[in-house]
Amino acid sequence: MTDGLLLIDKPAAMTSFGVVARIRRVLSQQAGKKVKVGHTGTLDPFATGLMLVVVGTECKKAGSYTKLDKSYDATIRLGQASTTGDPEGEITDVSELQPTREQIEAALEQFRGDIFQRPPVFSAIKIDGQRAYKLARSGEAFELPERQVHVYSLEILSYTYPTLQIRTHVSSGTYIRSLAVDIGQVLETGAYCTELRRTQVGEWSIDDAKPLSAFGITD
């Protein structure tokens, strides 16, 4: 394949750029020439799920794919906070409060529809040409501006303290890590995202995605 769209089920502990590099290597070897490959929106290293990977002339349409709505299943840990909003950060205890399911439902109501959200500093957003996460890792102090996003749906899948599992359908640009942190602030418990899986991008579903092993990629 030298042109088109690939649906990839990204594994955990791999960057989106790592996925693209591996796909590029395989397709280039098959074609006997360098094949242009790109992604249409990063997934955090700890996250899994659907990535739309553009190949060849389809790379010109990457921007339109990036703007599509997305759906996620997420697991949130209450009672603690993370410096990155995920398991890769420094974890600290915040509170022993154990909110009821009714209290969580009330909190989630605040995050449906148009909301303002501050992206995490450990993100791929560029600041003066540099990725925010690189600046954060170097110890620079900064804060990303809030942005308006839209949460179409947000529901509880299960809840047994301290573990809350949610499913959400959101507009492009929404950070589920930030959503988890903000939910923890409203509940006054602290919270961070322990697992995240992207299940839908626009009309494309994770059910139609292929693992990297389907391309002979095992590393």
Q: Alpha-carbon distance 135 to 132, whole Å?
A: 5
The answer to whether 88 and 46 are in contact (CB under 8 A) is yes
- Identify the helix (H) or strand (E) that includes residue 9: strand 4-10
Tokens, residue 127: 């600041």
Residues 6+ apart with CB under 8 A from 16: 10, 39, 41, 42, 43, 51
- Measured in degrees and rounded to the nearest 5, phi and psi for residue 192 equal -150, 160
| Per annotation, catalytic residue among 9, 44, 86, 182 | 44
44 has catalytic annotation: yes
The answer to whether 123 and 137 are in contact (CB under 8 A) is no
Q: Which residues are catalytic?
A: 44
